[in-house]
Chains A and B, each alone.
Chain A
Amino acid sequence: GIQVEQSPPDLILQEGANSTLRCNFSDSVNNLQWFHQNPWGQLINLFYIPSGTKQNGRLSATTVATERYSLLYISSSQTTDSGVYFCAVGGAETSGSRLTFGEGTQLTVNP
């Protein structure tokens, strides 16, 4: 099956700093989503981005499908950005409905 690798595994920032999280995947995809898991375990959709670039406030994401990677940018980080960020992908063979998750990036933003 499709493999998903996220980097870095852990990231510690001071409030106000910018960061880039990376997601590499092993095969062509027609579904890619970024999620934020808060300390209580709730997963929140950030982006549905199988290709292209999207922005939502301080967050933006870019997926280069031909090179099999996606980037999540967080600017002017806040303590509430802390948590785990997951990339999840769906391959063309499953019509994109099944998602394979990476291991996540644990982000800690200190005041």
Chain B
Amino acid sequence: DGGITQSPKYLFRKEGQNVTLSCEQNLNHDAMYWYRQDPGQGLRLIYYSQIVNDFQKGDIAEGYSVSREKKESFPLTVTSAQKNPTAFYLCASSITGQNIQYFGAGTRLSVL
């Protein structure tokens, strides 16, 4: 099946720990995105990548890092510098030029 797979569904972070959220797509999409959603709010853009080996900061990039070594994969690391990491994280992808974004099922991150 074609789609966007995020893992894990639930993740717990200890104080001072870095954690990595996985996002894989087999849609052959060029662009990939990471969003954060807090309860009762809309989505905010963390990072996005329009091509392999290139990515740009979104509106709330502080405390996060990404890499784009393969077209299919866009992992997000929540670093210890992110002081309020508890949120729902959503990954999306799109074909450059079409701009229609498709989303994965999300990862819920909590702090222990």
A-B contact pairs, 6 of them (CB 8 A): A4-B42, A33-B101, A86-B43, A97-B50, A99-B43, A100-B45
Interface contact B100-A101, CB-CB below 8 Å:
no
Q: SS class of chain B's interface: helix, strand, loop or mixed?
A: strand
Q: How many angstroms from the CA of A95 to the CA of B99 in the assembled complex?
A: 9
Residue from B44, B96, B99, B105 in contact with A101 in the complex, judged by beta carbons closer than 8 Å = B44
Closest-by-CB residue of B relative to A106 is: B40
Residues of A within 8 A of B (CB): 1, 4, 30-31, 33, 35, 40-43, 45, 48, 86, 88, 90, 95-104
A30 / chain B contacts, CB cutoff of 8 Å: 99
Closest-by-CB residue of A relative to B58 is: A98
Interface contact A98-B48, CB-CB below 8 Å:
yes
Asked whether A48 and B100 contact (CB < 8 A) given A41-B88, A98-B48, the answer is yes
Closest-by-CB residue of B relative to A50 is: B99
Closest-by-CB residue of B relative to A6 is: B42
Asked whether A41 and B44 contact (CB < 8 A) given A97-B31, A98-B58, the answer is no
Residue from A31, A97, A104 in contact with B42 in the complex, judged by beta carbons closer than 8 Å = A104
The 5 closest A-B pairs by CB, nearest first: A101-B42, A43-B103, A101-B43, A96-B99, A31-B99
Interface contact B106-A99, CB-CB below 8 Å:
no
B58 / chain A contacts, CB cutoff of 8 Å: 98
